[in-house]
Amino acid sequence: MPQLTTFESSEIARLALDVASDKQAYDVVMLDIREVSDFTDFFVILTGNSSRHLSSLIDDIETALESRGAVLHHREGSSDSGWVLMDFGDLIVHLFRDQERDYYDIEDAWPRGIEVIRIQ
């Protein structure tokens, strides 16, 4: 499966961010980690308020991104655990509930990542 171009990967990341925001996720962040990572270009990190909310976000993001040609290569975690990772190759989406987001602290783990957009 061919990788997306940098433009396409940034557009797919932006779409994930937009879907999350439209579906009431909060503290949604898009990080550009191309300069510090060799396995992906962007992270989208977001918080949902319940397991049900996370499940809905997972479904909506997957549907929207696949409709634009992105392929979900792998998923880790579950909405019940409070943490889900969706690997689309050049984009990784991290979905959390509050407590798990504080615990994993993804933004601080990638301090050289460039914050492209943050929606509170």
What's the pLDDT at 65? Answer: 96
pLDDT at 1 over 50: no
The whole-model pTM stands at 0.91
Between the alpha carbon of residue 62 and those of residues 56, 81, 105, the distances in Å are 10, 19, 23
User: What is the DSSP annotation of 6-62?
Assistant: HHHHHHHHHHHHHHHHHTT-EEEEEEE-TTT-SS-SEEEEEE-SSHHHHHHHHHHHH
pLDDT digits (tens, 9 = 90+) for 15-27: 999 999 999 999 9
State mean pLDDT over 105-119: 94
In this structure, which amino acid lies at residue 27?
A: D
Residues contacting residue 108 through CB under 8 Å, at least 6 positions apart: none
Q: Which domains does the chain have, with CATH numbers?
A: 6-119 (3.30.460.10)
| pLDDT at residue 120, rounded to an integer | 87
- The mean per-residue pLDDT over the stretch 6-10 comes to 72
